[in-house]
Amino acid sequence: MNTIDYIYRFDPEKPSAKPLPHDADAARRVLEDGNRLFSQWMESCRTGTPSHGEPRYIVHCNGLEVGMLRTRGEMPTQSPFAVVVGCSDARVPTEMLFGQGFNDLFVIRVAGNVMSDVCQASVDFALTNLSQSVRVVVVLGHSGCGAVTAAVDAYLRPLKFWSKSVSPMLRSLTQRVFVSVREAANGLKEVWGPEARDVPGYREALVESAVCINAAQASFGLRQEVERNGKWEVEVLYGVHNIRNHQVCMPVDPSAPRSDENVMLAVAPSNPREFEALAIQMAEILRPGARPRPGPTASRTASPVDVAPPPTVEDAKG
């Protein structure tokens, strides 16, 4: 039987730890190359193309990373080269989709990849206690995010936000995404026209755009924190895992076929005015009948950010 294997391989004759990426740029390339490997494997699964002879999709691991070959009682050293803040969604297996093994990533997962106090504290812990190995911090969103979808639905139907079926804690999480949703809505209105909400596919486009902006805004906050701590050698990146083609991209074209050139982690925004530029870029990509392929970098055009408060009872009545 021919199978399509994705293998975590340990070589007992070469058990030493893998070398760390020497800087942030090298770390970014490792993550992007790992995602290309994963997306190639997923494409093979989709097309039913088995591996012949030596399997092609291999993630090299080693004993030292899982505590093997050590003296009795000695603990393995934690040495991840990347901190990844991602969503709890079960369809987004962080280490696997980046082609990484044990002790490579310090992963923090929470619905909607929102930066709560606890998440921020976890990042601070990694930057403080694992500073010898950490090269990059990555915010990873994903297409079809349930938390972002809930925020979009609350934005479009505020009465649902105040429903008794929505717990206060879930409402609190949703509120953290509203600014991204509003920014995405502004971009769609700018590009699609004042009647954008009446265009078929508007809700789905609003979700896709808000996912990207939500990741960008979280990375912006993290960049400020990293710089505040004087960790100038650590780069903050962000991207979105497109569940349709299994690639991490920025910006994201949901309809794009798998291509190695699509994979790209973007540098966190340095100015909040960049969010509107991203919203407009996503609106152009998502516009019905006009879906340009993402360019190599996100737009950096300076524009003001329109920040909206959470919906209110008066909104629901209106």
Residue 241: phi and psi, rounded to 5, are -80, 110
Please report whether residue 256 resides in a domain: yes
Please report whether residue 211 resides in a domain: yes
Please report whether residue 8 resides in a domain: no
Please report whether residue 37 resides in a domain: no
Residue 310 pLDDT? 39
Q: What is the pLDDT of residues 227-236, one digit of tens each?
A: 988 889 999 9
Between these two residues, 66 and 144, which has the higher pLDDT value? 144
Residue 51 pLDDT? 66
Beta strand extents in 62-197 (DSSP E only): 82-86, 105-109, 136-142
Q: What is the pLDDT of residues 124-135, one digit of tens each?
A: 999 999 999 999
Residue 42 pLDDT? 92
Please report whether residue 26 resides in a domain: no
Domain containing residue 284: 79-317
CATH number at residue 262: 3.40.1050.10
Domain count, the chain: 1
Please report whether residue 223 resides in a domain: yes
Q: What is the pLDDT of residues 173-225, one digit of tens each?
A: 899 999 999 999 999 999 999 999 999 999 999 999 999 999 999 999 999 99
pTM of the entire predicted model: 0.86
Cis peptide before 251 (omega within 30 of 0): yes
Please report whether residue 35 resides in a domain: no
SS (H, E, C) 133-155: CCCEEEEEEECCCHHHHHHHHHH
Percent of the chain with pLDDT over 90: 64
Residue 21 pLDDT? 94
Please report whether residue 163 resides in a domain: yes
